[in-house]
Amino acid sequence: MAPGVGSCIKLIVGLGNPGVEYANSRHNAGFMVIEKLLAGFPEGRFTESHLAESRVFTGRFRGKNLVLQMPQTYMNLSGNAVAPLCRRMEIKPQEVIVISDDLDLAPGRLRLRQGGSDGGHNGLKSIIAELGSADFKRVRIGIGRPESGKTADYVLSGFEGDGEKAFAAAIERAAEAVKTILGAGMSTAMNKFNAAEKNDTEKK
């Protein structure tokens, strides 16, 4: 099987902050996608444990071993959870998908990307620093920027009304994007989801 296909993925990381006070915040988009994925799998398919300062779910998808991780270190120290788990399970950066929120994407938009900079996201910055590599796949979920007030307060709060509905729909699409990466590979997923987002924007 050619390099870069979905079956090479061994770890899916959803970024967020632990604690009920952050459960529905914009910054917890990654956690929400992991929860959406787990809810869609048959009961008992994945087993939860606590490793590398994370909630870790181990199971199989389409005949391959797969690990889902929700770091409990708080966002800015996400790399302190991801890097140790990768070392422990002998997982390479290119075998990892990281799901995060993105201030520079309009609310509800998705962007899939292979590698690149941290884009100002502290969770991604921490992971890149601790892994010593930026060569992991990204699923970015747009939350937009606040019209006023502090960015920190904005990302740690949730959407309301129509914004909440758009965000929930984006979480659903992000979970489907992850499944597409796993099943068909990153290139196919990028062509499908990035193109869909572009076309939707052009129609408006």
Q: Which of 12, 17, 22, 27 is catalytic?
A: 27
User: What is the DSSP secondary-structure string of 140-198?
Assistant: EEE----SSS-HHHHHTS---HHHHHHHHHHHHHHHHHHHHHHHH-HHHHIIIIIHHHH
Q: Where is pLDDT greater, at 202 or 28?
A: 28
- In 3D space, the residue among 135, 57, 45 whose CA is nearest the CA of residue 89 turns out to be 57
Residue 15 pLDDT level (bands cut at 50, 70, 90): very high
pTM of the predicted protein model: 0.93
46-103 pLDDT, tens per residue? 999 999 999 999 999 988 999 999 999 999 999 999 999 999 999 999 999 999 999 9
Contact criterion met (CB below 8 Å) for 43 and 54: no
116-167 pLDDT, tens per residue? 999 999 999 999 999 999 999 999 999 999 988 899 999 999 999 999 999 9
27 is catalytic: yes
